[in-house]
Amino acid sequence: MMMKKRTFSKEEKLQIIKEASQQGVYATLEKYGIYRATYYSWKRKFEEMGESGFEHGMTPEHLKRIRALEKENNALKLLLAEKELETKLKGDLLKKKFAQEKSGRS
């Protein structure tokens, strides 16, 4: 008879890794019915990529790409904020100049 495959949440995987380091790998794997290969795969992913290593299909390459895109996104947000500020300041200066010209002609 085959056992139903169990899926573990990210939090459960983290707890199992922590518990195995404190109470022993073999005892923990027996308790949860997990294969050693599965445990060591989780542990390697956690050591290489942290908690995000448990996201579906995540690889170190994916994580590097995501981090590069996040960095680029933040740089673009900063650039956009600077441009918006520059545009606002130019608009304010034009309003002041127009107001001075208007009051100077009266």
pLDDT per position as a tens digit, 43-98: 998 888 888 777 767 777 888 888 899 999 999 999 999 999 999 999 998 888 88
The three state secondary structure string of 26-95 is: HHHHHHHCCCHHHHHHHHHHHHHHHHHHHCCCCCHHHHHHHHHHHHHHHHHHHHHHHHHHHHHHHHHHHH
Phi (first) and psi of residue 21, to 5 degrees: -70, -30
User: CA–CA separation, 15 vs 90, rounded Å?
Assistant: 56
Q: Which residues lie below 8 Å from residue 24, measured CB to CB, with a gap of 6+? A: none
More confident residue, 38 or 1: 38
pLDDT per position as a tens digit, 15-44: 999 999 999 999 999 999 999 999 999 999
